[in-house]
Amino acid sequence: MNQTAEATSKITNPERISRIVARMCDGKMQALIRTKDNIKVGIRANFARFDGLKNPPQIVFDKISEFGLQKLEKGMPVKIEVIGMPSKVMFVSTIGDKTEEGVLCSLPLSLVTIERRQNSRYRVTPSAMAYLSFSLWHPEDDDPSAPPFFDAYRSLASWIPILDISAGGVCVQSHFPSFINLLETVDLDPKAKLHLPMSAPMPVQAAIRWKRRIKNRIDEDNRERYQLDFRLGIEFLELSEEYQIKIRNYLRQLSVADAI
C-alpha cells in the first residue's frame, strides 16, 4: 500500500487543449462539475460535444441531473474534473449558457494533470459498503470480543467492514478485537475474500502490513466516553487482471459517490 508523490503538469497550448477536449467528447467521458459555492460536492455530467468553430469554442455537457442543473447558472465559473483518466485532469471554465441540450462551457485556457498516486485511497461510503473476510478467523459464540451475530447470518459474521480501499489493498476496522487478537502473530492469510457491492466474493492473498488500536472520544448525552477501533492494513498479493479491473471499477464508483 505504498504511495508515490504526485507530479503535476500544466497544458496551455490551445491547439493541444482542443484536441484533448475533443477526444474526451468523442469518448463521452464522465466529469464532475464543482461550483465556487460548493467545491466539495460535484455535479455529474458527460462530455457530449466540442464545437471548435464557435467563437469562443464551446464544450457541451449533458446527462446532468435536474437538481444539478439548478445549481448551475450562466456566467458562473466552475471547476471541472475528468473521471476515468489514468491521470487526474482538471480545468477551470465558465458556463456560457444552459439549453435543452445541456450546459455550454468555454474552452479552458489550461489543463492541469496530476499523476495519481500509485495506490490512491478511497473512503468506503455507507451506500457502497465493502468487506474483507479472513479464512484464519471465524467468530465463536462464546467469544465476548467477537461481534454479535445471529445464526441465520453466521456466514456474514466474519465479514470485517473496510474503512478505505486502494488498488493495492484495504484498511479494515472493527470495534471488536477478536479478529485482530487472532491475527496478531500472522503475516498472511492466503485465502481471504474481498466482498464488493454487486460482485461475487474475490479470493485474495491478504498480507497484513500493520495493526493499530485507536482510542476515540465520544460525547453522548453530555457524557464523555471512549471507544476503541481495531484496524488492520492489508496489502493484496498477486491479484489477477480480472480482479484488478473489478477493484478499479469500484474505486471509480467511490470517486463520484458524493456527486449529485
Query: What average pLDDT does the structure give for the chain?
Result: 85
Grid cell in block for residue 185: 502473530
**Which of the listed residues 70, 89, 114 is the one where a domain comes to its end?**
114
In a domain, 3, yes or no: no
**Which of the listed residues 114, 146, 181 is the one where a domain comes to its end?**
114
Q: Beta-strand (E) ranges in the chain? A: 8-11, 30-35, 43-51, 58-62, 77-83, 88-98, 103-106, 111-114, 122-123, 131-133, 159-166, 169-174, 188-195, 202-220, 223-237
In a domain, 1, yes or no: no
Query: What's the CATH code of the domain at 89?
Result: 2.30.110.10
Confidence class for position 119, pLDDT limits 50, 70, 90: low
Same domain, 197 and 101: no
Same domain, 202 and 180: yes
3-state secondary structure at position 235: strand
Same domain, 138 and 13: no
Same domain, 86 and 147: no
Same domain, 17 and 74: yes
Percent pLDDT > 90 in the chain is 47
In a domain, 260, yes or no: no
Same domain, 53 and 135: no
> Domain range holding 51?
8-114
In a domain, 170, yes or no: yes
Confidence class for position 86, pLDDT limits 50, 70, 90: low
In a domain, 214, yes or no: yes
Same domain, 128 and 171: yes
Grid cell in block for residue 183: 491475527
Classify each residue of 103-115 as buried b or exposed e, where b means 16 or more C-beta atoms within 10 Å of its C-beta: bbbbbbeebbbee
Q: What is the number of domains present in the chain? A: 2
Grid cell in block for residue 38: 460548493
**Which of the listed residues 63, 90, 114 is the one where a domain comes to its end?**
114
Q: 1 or 234, which is more confident? A: 234
Query: What's the CATH code of the domain at 147?
Result: 2.40.10.220
Same domain, 96 and 152: no
Q: What is the pLDDT of residues 95-118, one digit of tens each?
A: 999 987 789 999 999 999 876 555
Same domain, 209 and 178: yes
Same domain, 132 and 84: no
In a domain, 134, yes or no: yes
**Cα–Cα distance between 111 and 40 in angstroms, integer?**
20
Q: What is the pLDDT of residues 54-67, one digit of tens each?
A: 888 999 999 999 88
pLDDT of residue 158: 83
Same domain, 53 and 129: no
